[in-house]
Amino acid sequence: AQSVTQLDSQVPVFEEAPVELRCNYSSSVSVYLFWYVQYPNQGLQLLLKYLSGSTLVESINGFEAEFNKSQTSFHLRKPSVHISDTAEYFCAVTEMDSSYKLIFGSGTRLLVRP
């Protein structure tokens, strides 16, 4: 059965510092991988996704994530964060032969300080 682990519940960083949010998954079949972001008092929004092809995927606001099949990881990175990046970040996975279910990790709160 598939599962998603986000080991860090909270990551505090200073503005303009780099950040990495970790995500590991377990699955015996091929997967699609997603990062969603939840700003305070809002619903989730898709940040980026890996479906196939290049293992490095990027978002329009400077985040990137790399699919590592051997390590079953999909870590999210940004070289320089802004105050406005403060939010909850959720990693999610779906197996290609599952019944349409998206499985979420427990989330990582990114707290950017001035």
Partner 1 sequence: DTAVSQTPKYLVTQMGNDKSIKCEQNLGHDTMYWYKQDSKKFLKIMFSYNNKELIINETVPNRFSPKSPDKAHLNLHINSLELGDSAVYFCASSPGPQLNNEQFFGPGTRLTVL
Kindly list the residues in this chain that would bind partner 1 in the complex (CB under 8 A): 32, 36, 41-46, 49, 51, 88, 90, 94-96, 98-104, 106-107
Cβ proximity to partner 1, 45 vs 80, nearer residue: 45
Residue 44 CB, shortest distance to partner 1, in Å, is 4
Residue among 81 and 91 whose Cβ is closer to partner 1: 91
For residue 67, the minimal CB distance to partner 1 (Å) is 14
Minimum separation from the CB atom of position 59 to partner 1 (A): 12
Q: Do 104 and 74 meet the contact criterion of CB atoms below 8 Å apart? A: no
Q: Which is nearer to partner 1, 13 or 102 (CB)?
A: 102
Place of tokens 């019944």: 99
